[in-house]
Amino acid sequence: MEIKEFYDYNKEIAKFKVAYALVEWDMRTKMPPKAAMDRAEVAGKLARTIFDMGTSPKMATFVEYFNRPKINEKLSEVDRRNVYLVTKEYRRVSSIPPDEFEKFTIACSKGENVWQEAKVESNFAKFKPYLEEIVGYLKKFVEYYGYEENKYDALLEDYEPSMTTKDLKKIIDELKAELVPFIKDLTSKGKAPDTSILKGNFDKASQERLSHEVLSAMTYDFNGGRIDETAHPFTIGMGVGDVRVTTNYHVDDMTSALFSTMHEGGHALYEQGVSEAYKLMPIYNGASMGIHESQSRTWENLVGRSRSFWKFFFPKLQNIFPQFKGVPLEKFYRAINLTKPSLIRIESDEVTYNLHIMIRFEMEEALINDKIKVADLPEVWNEKVKQYLGIDVPDNAHGVLQDVHWSGGQIGYFPSYMLGNLYASQFFFTAKKEIPNLEEEIENGNLKVLREWQREKIHKFGALYDPKDLLIKVTGEPLSHKFFMNYVKEKFSEIYF
């Protein structure tokens, strides 16, 4: 048996995954509302086809053969990694009964459509039965996958390989011990920036132009992607030459779309930077969702909310929105760096953002371990927001219904956002050491220098390495919260004190 046969078969599966991604993109952007339920059946059929091919006797033969020690040791590093990823996926997915997997996929497609309606109506009761069905399947899958210490580990593995609930709790405890007192000092002793200049009427067409401008500055390749509007911004890759981003426009707040565009653009740069030699291979992907989030948070925050970036980009913003022409750059920079506990995760600031993730992680872990039920989620959510952020939740649209993830069955994903913040700070610290004039290059609008560093150090490898190994390869150190805390302390102390 030749390795080429293994790749040919997996490339056929990858083509069905591209088709599924295209259906998913359409469902979340351009699809007419009346098509939702029938399109969910189409998504389910594609997912079932991918499932069947990935668990077929032919795949079982590949897995058995290429994992034989004498065969495996002769493979190249890339071939061995592809075999490893396929084997891991095969063993997880083949543990699930095919009919259950198809029904789960259909439940998620329908659930996301109902979630959109429920969010608009702030009606959790409407979404509740769909979420109960999704969570019910996930609890079954956990038992099929198996786990050692915590049921949540079985789901976390899909998003952050080799990370455990125990690891996360240790990271959170260390981060919380420094972060919470710092937030208290900022909000109680510091002088908050004036954000009144950010209020106004920002027409959608001008915001669309701004999104295109900022993506172009970031070196996003529009010949290999596009930007569209959606209810909850996301990025989706459909192989080489097609990586699409989305954003969401608010006429009273242009910063929401601006920073979500930069965030999704960071994801897209990662996807566009994976080596084309890995086309349609299992490693043509990110190392993990946490590493993926590190790239998006770098562009959204470490670049997008930096003084250096706005020295370059502020004139462009002023040309699109003339109301900013009389605003001093420093005043704008401080305004976009307000630190204040808030309700909406994707609009929260760099300092308080991780508290939102801690809330979601604690709820997910409790839900999967049967400590709480789906019906309890609104009440538990509101209690934790009060506990962590000190604010009252006015309705479910601004609370438990604000995120899309649960409707798509993505329980275990949220910790990747916090890990992404930590990875991002550690990567960026290394980038500044290796590119001593990086801040100056950003001021001059040469964002390509950072993009190229990311591409050489991170992007091109795809999923060749586990996240822990990649982090050490790039920075020389295991994950530490100190880089993030040093960054926010230096930046926000200068703004607030």
> What is 160-205 written as a DSSP string?
STT--HHHHHHHHHHHHHHHHHHHHHHHHHS-PPP-GGG-S---HH
Is residue 124 over pLDDT 90? yes
Give the pLDDT confidence score for residue 448 in this predicted structure: 98
Q: What is the pLDDT of residues 454-490, one digit of tens each?
A: 999 999 999 999 999 999 999 999 999 999 999 999 9
Q: Of the candidates 7, 17, 87, 26, which has an alpha carbon nearest to the alpha carbon of residue 51?
A: 17
Give the pLDDT confidence score for residue 100 in this predicted structure: 93
* pLDDT band per the 50, 70, 90 thresholds, residue 364: very high
402-435 core/surface letters (b: 16 or more CB in 10 A; e: else): bbbbbbbbbbbbbbbbbbbbbbbbbbbbbbeeeb
Rg (CA), the chain: 22
Whether 162 contacts 470, CB under 8 Å: no
- Rounded to whole angstroms, the Cα distance separating 291 from 297 reads 10
Give the pLDDT confidence score for residue 272 in this predicted structure: 97
Instruction: State mean pLDDT over 230-235.
Output: 90
Percent of the chain with pLDDT over 70: 100
Is residue 240 over pLDDT 90? no
- 159 vs 249, 268, 302, CA distance in Å? 28, 17, 23
Q: Structure pTM?
A: 0.92
* pLDDT band per the 50, 70, 90 thresholds, residue 347: confident
- 338 vs 80, 313, 342, CA distance in Å? 47, 19, 11
Give the pLDDT confidence score for residue 381 in this predicted structure: 98
* pLDDT band per the 50, 70, 90 thresholds, residue 232: confident
Q: What is the pLDDT of residues 131-153, one digit of tens each?
A: 999 999 999 999 999 999 999 99
Structure tokens at 181: 């007192």
Whether 285 contacts 274, CB under 8 Å: yes
Is residue 255 over pLDDT 90? yes
* pLDDT band per the 50, 70, 90 thresholds, residue 231: confident
Give the pLDDT confidence score for residue 19 in this predicted structure: 95
Instruction: State mean pLDDT over 169-179.
Output: 95
Instruction: State mean pLDDT over 11-25.
Output: 95
Average pLDDT score, the chain: 96
Instruction: State mean pLDDT over 344-373.
Output: 95
- 62 vs 50, 74, 80, 81, CA distance in Å? 16, 15, 12, 14
Active site residues: 264
Hey, what CATH topology would domain 165-496 get?
A: Neurolysin; domain 3 (1.10.1370)
Give the pLDDT confidence score for residue 49 in this predicted structure: 94
* pLDDT band per the 50, 70, 90 thresholds, residue 352: very high
Q: Any idea where the domains of the chain sit in the sequence?
A: 3-146, 165-496
Tell me how far apart the terminal alpha carbons of the chain are, to the nearest angstrom: 67
Q: What is the pLDDT of residues 376-423, one digit of tens each?
A: 999 999 999 999 999 999 999 999 999 999 999 999 999 999 999 999
* Torsion, CA 20, CA 24, CA 26, CA 28, rounded to 10: 180
Q: What share of the chain is helix, strand, coil (3-state, %, to 5)?
A: 70, 5, 30
Find the angle CA(51)-CA(55)-CA(60) to the nearest 5 degrees.
160
Q: What is the pLDDT of residues 25-40, one digit of tens each?
A: 999 999 998 998 899 8
